[in-house]
Structure 1
Amino acid sequence: MSRASVFRKLEALYREMQEAYDEVAGKLGHTCDGCARNCCVSHFEHHTYVEWAYFWKGMKALPEAERAKIVHTAEENVRQARVVLAEGMTPSLMCPVNVDGRCSLYANRLMICRLHGIPNVLADPRGNRRAFPGCWLSQELSEKFGTEGRDVPHLDRTPFYIRLAALEREFLGAKWGRLPKVDSTLSELIVAGEPRF
């Protein structure tokens, strides 16, 4: 399967994620507009080569000067994060592709960035379900649902993870399971450059 074909499937999956996200956010009354806090300082890792490559498709489309600035910021973020992590704390660093409060690679952002914020659940392969409350605003809105005796709307991430894993296998082909695992922040993926295998 060609890279372009896999990317089209990933784009379709991303659209479905957005629709599911919007549905839950709408029921909850959640919106990021005018938020006083920025979730782009959240520290989390990404785990697929296919998303890493798709993100770099967007990076390569940027003007060279803009791309170089992002790489420089990512390098600084990686350096600062290591210091903070060594002190036993969680880094809170602005994402290197956030420009003036907006994602400069919004169309190419990774799954975690797309689904972050609203209450969600995830089932592991053994069927154990883990619940995540969402961002501070979602938690405040969820409390209101609880006091009114209503069930809190939430997003089930599980089917999206399953389909993303299938796309990862398709993308890597015979190399699936033979490459090092991806466990990297976005800054680390930027510093590492486009994945080559």
Structure 2
Amino acid sequence: MKELFLPPELSCEISEIYASMATAYDEVARAITLTCEGCPDNCCDSYFLHYTYCEWAYLWEGIRALDDARLDRIMQRARDYVEQSRVLIARGQRPQIMCPLNEDGLCGLYTHRLMICRTHGVPATLTRPDGQHLRFPGCFRCQEIVKATYAAETDAPAMDRTILYKRLAQLESRFLGDKRGLFPKIKLTIAEMIVGGPPRDIKTNRN
């Protein structure tokens, strides 16, 4: 099956969505005085799962630009991550393993990091398609600041993820086109996206 490449216009659009995420994140972070400076934790060891083919393809845009030696190192770390996480999950434990893209404490593919990597940290809200309203408290440091500063958690400003998620979902629909309903749903770590290679098209009777 052929590899799925993001068309240039969709690649630009996902970059714009990510830029909007960064702006919204920074506004809330400034309001509650949250910074990562001096934090004893590293969010890159969080067990994040990703759900869109367009982000998977965008990640591989960045991976293709790596030199061979660096790609080999990342690929080996990704294989180790997948193996270790499977063992932990089989034991009923949630993995807490450093992302294979992390190099010396920083993301080695920063411009191509995915949505959840960009939004994790600050308080956030989300209104689901069924109307259910969700609120996320943010990272542990954020929760400490909110508890010390606000009378109630809901008094703290929060990043509304709803419109950003909608834009990403619309982009996903355009990326997969009329075959979207035929693609299996995905729930992958970055390590699995690396080890599995770039996303690929599916076979249909029209292919």
Superposition misfits of 4+ residues, deviation over 3 angstroms: 147-150
Q: Does the C-alpha gap of structure 1 residues 174 and 190 become closer, same or farther in structure 2, counting only changes over 3 Å?
A: same
* Equivalent position to 2:182, from 173, 178, 181: 178
* Equivalent position to 2:94, from 78, 90, 97: 90
Percent of aligned positions with the same letter in both sequences? 46
TM-score when normalising by structure 1: 0.96
Give the aligned partner of residue 70 of structure 1.
74
User: Secondary structure of the equivalent of 2:175?
Assistant: helix
Give the aligned partner of residue 204 of structure 2.
none
Q: Unmatched 5+ residue regions in structure 2? A: 1-5, 202-207
Q: Which amino acid aligns with 1:187?
A: A
- 2:37 equivalent to 1:33: yes
Cα deviation, residue 186, structure 1: 0.7
User: Secondary structure of the equivalent of 1:59?
Assistant: helix
For residues 19 and 76 of structure 1, the distance between their equivalents in structure 2, rounded to whole angstroms, comes to 34
* Alpha-carbon contact 2:146-2:153 (below 8 Å) kept: no
For residues 113 and 30 of structure 1, the distance between their equivalents in structure 2, rounded to whole angstroms, comes to 16
Cα deviation, residue 153, structure 1: 1.1
Q: Unmatched 5+ residue regions in structure 1? A: none
Aligned residues: 196
Cα deviation, residue 122, structure 1: 1.2
For residues 19 and 98 of structure 1, the distance between their equivalents in structure 2, rounded to whole angstroms, comes to 23
1:114-136 CA distances to partner (integer Å, 9 max, x unpaired)?
00011111111111011111101
Give the aligned partner of residue 142 of structure 2.
138
Q: Does the C-alpha gap of structure 1 residues 82 and 145 become closer, same or farther in structure 2, counting only changes over 3 Å?
A: same
Cα deviation, residue 170, structure 1: 0.8
- 2:63 equivalent to 1:59: yes
